[in-house]
């Protein structure tokens, strides 16, 4: 079954092993992916086990990633 993702939310998370917070992209309560900055400041995306069967339009996926990227950039800037 394919579940079209038209709405989502980002949840800020932290991990003791990471220098910076990361953001989970959720559809309902399902975590689809995580967006984080590496220690070098590079932004990376990890698709979670909840991702299969979820369909984004390319425009929505780009918008979700841009939203997460902006939050991470703000986070990095506030730590400097």
Tens-digit pLDDT string for the chain (80 aa) = 899 999 999 999 987 777 788 999 999 999 999 999 888 888 999 999 999 999 999 999 999 999 999 999 888 888 76
Structural domain boundaries, residue 72? 3-78
Number of domains comprising the chain: 1
Q: What is the pLDDT of residue 40?
A: 83
Nearest residue to 33 (alpha-carbon basis) of 20, 45, 22, 17 = 45
In angstroms, rounded to a whole number, what is the distance separating the alpha carbons of residues 23 and 21?
7
């Amino acid at each position: 079954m394919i579940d079209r993702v038209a709405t989502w939310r980002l949840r800020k998370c932290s991990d003791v092993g990471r220098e910076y917070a990361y953001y989970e992209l959720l559809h309902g309560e399902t975590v689809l992916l995580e967006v984080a900055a590496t220690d070098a400041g590079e932004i990376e995306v990890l698709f979670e086990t909840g991702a299969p069967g979820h369909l984004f339009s390319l425009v929505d996926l780009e918008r979700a990633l841009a939203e997460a990227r902006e939050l991470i950039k703000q986070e990095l800037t506030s730590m400097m």
